[in-house]
Chains A and B, each alone.
Chain A
Amino acid sequence: MTRMAATRDGYGQALLDLADNPKVVVLEADLGKSTKSLHFRKAHPERTVSCGIGEQNMLLVGAGMAASGYIPFASTFAIFTERAFEQMRNGVARPNLAVHLCGSHGGTHTGTDGSSAQSIEDLAVFRTLPNVVVMHPCDDVSTRALTMQLADTNSPSYMRTARNKTPVMYDDAAEGTIQIGKGVQLKEGTDVAIIACGVMVSESIKAAEALAAEGVSAAVIDMHTLKPLDGDLIDSLVSRCGALVTAEDHNVIGGLGSAVAEHLVANTFAPLEMVGVPDRFGESGQADEMLEVMNISSPYIAVAARKAISRK
């Protein structure tokens, strides 16, 4: 039985584990219970700064603390990080201050709150900022590993986590193989490579299993880091498989698919099919229903894979 877990729980656990470093501080905007920074707050209230419902202030309090030698981890819902975009741009990214921003409840997968809460553009907007690392891990194990590594980077970052539980892809022993900026091949394949992030990684595994039943060999990649993108891995997938699919719970404009396409056109060529939210807003629905509504669940990934192969 596959273990189910939410990426936000991996984030919360990592913050607790990072607390041995006295420079690590946590910033909250009244959503610590949801983003899971609450565990750190309970254990270390003196190193937790409540910013109320004020995301713009939170980002720059983090910048001031980073400039004073601290390692701030600030979190809120993915959608509300966008409210502080210019603070992230001018006050964090531009002076290259290592503030680590986590947006939980990202994507349409967040479900019944509806379209106002379903961030489908966060990865795109933060990817446009120089100096900023952008990540969207797929399970609690990798989220914990990547969050732990952030404390040792000197760059600001944006990480999207998700509210709902999804199948866990890594066992705890695999943590050492997960590194910022390095995609992970979860399944070998030779006909097509499915490059996915976040909740779409487990959907891609399902699609690959369905394709295998039809005799199609599909590789599946967990591309948890969108920026810096693992271009070497993409190049090797192009030479091995000759066709690519990207899968993301994010607008097809500007996210993982765009990042892979940008790399492809500048370096090599292979047909690419992009599975993502088709440039439209969501609505209230269960997580699995939303993946259907947006045409991004595993059957759609399998269709895209066959189409990519046919374009070789």
Chain B
Amino acid sequence: MSASIAEVEEMARKCRVEIVKMVYRAQAGHPGGSLSEIDLLAALYATRMRVRPDEPKWSDRDRFILSKGHASPGMYAVLAEMGFISHEDLKSYRVLGGVCQGHVDMKWCPGVDFSAGSLGMGLSFGMGCAVAARLDKSDRRAFVMIGDGEMQEGSVWEAAMAAAHHELGNLKVILDRNRIQNDDFCEAQMRMFDIPAKWRSFGWNVKEIDGHNMAEIMDGLDFLEADENSNGPSILIAHTIKGGGISYMENNPAFHGAAPNDEQYKQAMIELGEVEA
């Protein structure tokens, strides 16, 4: 819980290296959304999540649900940094029998609380975890990360309405607002207009931050945890860059679900400071 901003930034850098390596080795996967979410995930796990990596099924742990489950390399990299899985395990990404399934899967990977991969499902599952925590009179929380394209799924709004109705102050959502979905920019696929206003009108506490500025991320996580926001569910809208950290992937819809080639891989390692130019 005591990691400094510099330490979390270094953890996120290492995770970016692993994300690129995983997708490069598999020659498949989703680097764009993994890179956009990674500063948020690193900060959440390094400074907020009440979990026990040596006891991943500890019943009173905070839950984390990666609803955008295709952005699994980001989560696997963080789980390896936290010690839930080994760095060697990361080589099993998309490999037969591997703990690192294509989409995060609670039956395969220690530390994964929800089997995701189909968009629009994680918020509902997180709501169930939050209701259960309240029935248990436990102070554990359910954190859910959703994507912006994912908000086009109607079921997200079923859950948004229900969570506010039930005043689930222990349900905390982070929106990875990276502005790109599978086929194109969100703006071209389905305009979403005033996203903060949508969530406010559904009865949620809302805050916006720069999802790559670690100081702002810490403020945002403080907001999610704040007592004054325990009256109902809260959402942190994090403005991010799809492919953030790798120049040729940034804001490039082609890298939603594509792997770098040999040359691109080398360039990424240079940009991330892993090798000399």
Residues of A within 8 A of B (CB): 25, 46-47, 49-52, 54, 56-70, 72, 86-87, 90-91, 94-96
Which residue of the partner chain, among A46, A64, A86, contacts B124 with CB atoms under 8 Å? A64
List the A side residues contacting B114 at CB < 8 Å.
64, 67, 95
Given contacts A25-B135, A60-B121, A86-B118, contact A67 B129 (CB under 8 A): yes
Contact partner of A90 among B113, B115, B142, B166, CB < 8 A? B115
* A72 to B124 alpha-carbon distance, docked (Å): 14
Are A91 and B127 touching (Cβ within 8 A)?
Answer: no
Identify A68's interface contact among B120, B121, B128, B165, CB under 8 A. B128
CA A67 to CA B106, docked complex, whole Å: 10
| A54 touching B161, Cβ below 8 Å | yes
B183 at the interface (CB under 8 A from A): no
Beta-carbon contact of B155 and A56 below 8 Å = yes
Other than A54-B161, A94-B107, give 19 A-B pairs with Cβ distance below 8 A.
A47-B135, A49-B131, A49-B166, A50-B162, A50-B165, A57-B162, A60-B124, A60-B128, A61-B162, A65-B132, A67-B128, A67-B129, A68-B132, A68-B136, A90-B117, A90-B121, A91-B115, A91-B118, A96-B107
A87 to B119, CA, bound (A): 10
Docked complex Cα distance between A294 and B133 (Å): 48
Chain B residues lying within 8 Å of A64, measured Cβ to Cβ, are: 114, 124-132, 142
Nearest 10 pairs of A and B residues by beta carbon:
A64-B128, A60-B124, A68-B132, A54-B158, A57-B158, A61-B128, A64-B125, A56-B155, A64-B129, A65-B128
Q: Does B2 contact A (CB under 8 A)?
A: no
Whether B124 pairs with A95 at a CB distance below 8 angstroms is: no
A70-B132 in contact given A56-B155, A57-B159 (Cβ < 8 Å): yes
Q: In the bound complex, how far is the Cα of B125 from the Cα of A49, in angstroms? A: 13
Bound: A51/B105 CA distance, A: 25
Chain B residues near A95 (CB-CB < 8 A): 105-107, 114-115
Residues of B within 8 A of A66 (CB): 128
A residues less than 8 Å from B124 (CB atoms): 56-61, 63-64, 87, 91
- Cα–Cα, bound, A67→B120 (Å): 18
Within 8 Å of chain A (Cβ to Cβ): is B59? Answer: yes
* Chain B residue with the shortest CB-CB distance to A57: B158
Q: How far is the CA of A68 from the CA of B130 in the complex (A)?
A: 9
Closest residue of chain B to A56 (Cβ to Cβ) is B155
* Subset of 5 A-B contacts with CB under 8 Å: A52-B162, A61-B124, A61-B159, A67-B113, A87-B124
Listed residue (B59, B113, B125) with the most chain A CB atoms within 10 angstroms of its CB: B125
Q: Report the bound CA distance from A96 to B108 in whole Å.
A: 12
Q: How close is B202's CB to chain A, nearest CB, in angstroms?
A: 12
Contacts of B105 on A, CB cut-off 8 Å? 95
Instruction: Tell whether A68 pairs with B162 under 8 Å between CB atoms, given A60-B128, A95-B107.
Output: no
Give the chain B neighbours of A49 by CB distance below 8 A.
131, 166
Whether the Cβ atoms of B131 and A65 lie closer than 8 Å is yes
Question: Could you tell me the distance between the alpha carbons of A76 and B128 in the complex, rounded to whole angstroms?
Answer: 18
Q: In residues 47-82 of chain B, which contact A (Cβ within 8 Å)?
A: 59, 63
Q: How far is the CB of B249 from the nearest CB of chain A, in Å? A: 28
Cα distance A49–B127 in the bound complex, in angstroms: 11
In Å, the complex CA distance between A95 and B120 comes to 17
The chain B residue with its CB closest to the CB of A87 is B121
Q: Assess whether B162 is in contact with A51, with CB atoms less than 8 Å apart.
A: yes
CB distance from B185 to the nearest CB of A (A): 26
Complex contacts, A52 vs chain B, CB 8 Å? 158, 161-162, 165
Distance A25 CA – B132 CA, assembled complex (angstroms)? 10
- Cα of A51 to Cα of B165 in the assembled complex, Å: 9
CA–CA, A223 and B112, complex, Å: 39
Task: List chain B residues, Cβ under 8 A from A60.
Answer: 121, 124-125, 127-128, 155, 159
CB-CB < 8 A to A94: which residues of B? 107, 115
The 0/1 profile, CB within 8 Å of A marked 1, for residues 118-161 of chain B is: 10110011111111110110000010000000000011001101
User: Given the complex, which residues of B lie within 8 Å of A68, measured CB to CB?
Assistant: 59, 63, 128-129, 132-133, 136
Would you give the shortest CB distance from B68 to chain A, in whole angstroms?
Answer: 14
Identify which of A61, A69, A96 contacts B127 (C-beta below 8 A).
A61
Within 8 A of A (CB), among B20-58: none
B90-121 residues with Cβ-Cβ distance < 8 A to A are 105-107, 113-115, 117-118, 120-121
Contact B121 A91 (CB under 8 A): yes
Enumerate chain A residues within 8 angstroms of B166, measured Cβ to Cβ.
49
Give every chain A residue within 8 A of B126 (Cβ-Cβ).
Answer: 64
Q: What chain B residues lie within 8 Å of A63 (beta carbons)?
A: 124-125, 128
Docked Cα-Cα span, A25 to B128, in Å, equals: 11
Known: A63-B128, A87-B121. A69 touches B59 (CB 8 A): yes
* Smallest CB gap from B113: residue in A: A67
Name the residue among B114, B128, B132, B155 with the largest chain A CB count within 10 angstroms: B128
Instruction: Report the minimal beta-carbon distance from A275 to chain B, rounded to whole angstroms.
Output: 37
User: In the complex, how many angstroms separate the beta carbon of A23 from the nearest chain B beta carbon?
Assistant: 9
Contact of A57 among B59, B127, B132 (CB under 8 A): B127
**Bound form: Cα–Cα A91–B115 in Å:** 7
CA A72 – CA B128 in complex, angstroms? 10
How far apart are the CA atoms of A86 and B114 in the complex, in Å? Answer: 15
